[in-house]
Amino acid sequence: MTIENKQVKVQKAIFNEIKNRAGNKKSSRALVEELAQLLNVSTDSAYRRLRCEKFLTLDELEKISMHFKVSFDKHLALSESDSVIFKVALNQQNTSFDDFLMGIYTDLEKIIQHPNHKLIYSAKEVPIFHFLQIPELAAFKMFYWMKTLFQMPEYSNLSFSFDFISEKYLALGKKISELYAQANSYEIWNFESVHSFIAQTEFYFQSGMMYKQTAIALLDKFAELMTLIKKQADIEFKCSIKGAVPKGHPKNYHLYLNEIILSDNTIYAQVGESSMCYIPHALLYYMTTADKAYCDHLHNVLDGVMRKSTKISGTAEKHRSIFFNYVFQKIEEAKNRLAIAL
Burial class (CB in 10 A: 0-12, 13-18, 19+), 80: exposed
Kindly state whether residues 62 and 122 are assigned to the same domain: no
Burial class (CB in 10 A: 0-12, 13-18, 19+), 105: middle
DSSP assigned state of 228: H
Whole-number pLDDT of residue 188: 96
Residue-wise pLDDT for 144-154, tens only, equals 888 887 788 88
d(CA 87, CA 73) in angstroms, rounded, equals 9
Residue 86 lies in a domain: no
d(CA 138, CA 128) in angstroms, rounded, equals 9
Angle between helices 97-113 and 167-181 (to 10 degrees): 20
Q: How confident is the model at residue 76 (pLDDT cuts 50, 70, 90)?
A: low
The pTM of this model reads 0.77
d(CA 199, CA 197) in angstroms, rounded, equals 5
- Mean of all residue pLDDT scores within the chain: 86
Q: Which helix (H) or strand (E) holds 186?
A: strand 185-189
Residue 281 lies in a domain: yes
- The CATH number linked to 8 is 1.10.260
Measured between its terminal Cα atoms, the distance across the chain in Å is: 71
For 161-228, the DSSP string reads -GGGS-HHHHHHHHHHHHHHHTS-EEEEE-GGGGHHHHHHHHHHHHTTSS-HHHHHHHHHHHHHHHHH
SS3 54: coil
Residue-wise pLDDT for 88-104, tens only, equals 665 555 567 888 889 89
Q: Which residues contact residue 202 at a Cβ distance below 8 angstroms, ignoring those fewer than 6 apart?
A: 215, 334, 337, 338
Give the domain-ending residue among 76, 105, 126: 76
The domain containing residue 18 runs over which residues?
A: 3-76
d(CA 31, CA 146) in angstroms, rounded, equals 40
Which residues partner with 36 through β-bridges? none
Residue 271 near residue 117 (C-beta atoms within 8 A): yes
Residue 279 lies in a domain: yes
Candidates 240, 249, 285, 239; CA nearest to 270 is 249
82 or 124, higher pLDDT: 124
Read off the pLDDT of each residue in 73-91 and give the average, rounded to a whole number.
Answer: 60
Whole-number pLDDT of residue 142: 92
Residue-wise pLDDT for 153-165, tens only, equals 888 889 998 887 8
pLDDT over 60 (residue 115): yes
Give the domain-ending residue among 76, 105, 124: 76
Give the domain-ending residue among 23, 43, 76: 76
Candidates 101, 121, 259; CA nearest to 183 is 121
Residue-wise pLDDT for 3-25, tens only, equals 456 677 788 888 888 887 776 66
Kindly state whether residues 104 and 211 are assigned to the same domain: yes
153 or 2, higher pLDDT: 153
d(CA 248, CA 114) in angstroms, rounded, equals 11
Q: Which helix (H) or strand (E) holds 9?
A: helix 3-22
Kindly state whether residues 141 and 250 are assigned to the same domain: yes
d(CA 132, CA 27) in angstroms, rounded, equals 34
Kindly state whether residues 32 and 147 are assigned to the same domain: no
Read off the pLDDT of each residue in 134-148 and give the average, rounded to a whole number.
Answer: 91
Residue-wise pLDDT for 292-306, tens only, equals 888 999 999 999 999
86 or 160, higher pLDDT: 160
Residue 85 lies in a domain: no
Residue 87 lies in a domain: no
Residue 84 lies in a domain: no
Kindly state whether residues 229 and 310 are assigned to the same domain: yes
**Structural domain tally of the chain?**
2
Kindly state whether residues 183 and 314 are assigned to the same domain: yes
Whole-number pLDDT of residue 1: 47
pLDDT over 60 (residue 77): no
Candidates 281, 277, 283, 280; CA nearest to 297 is 277
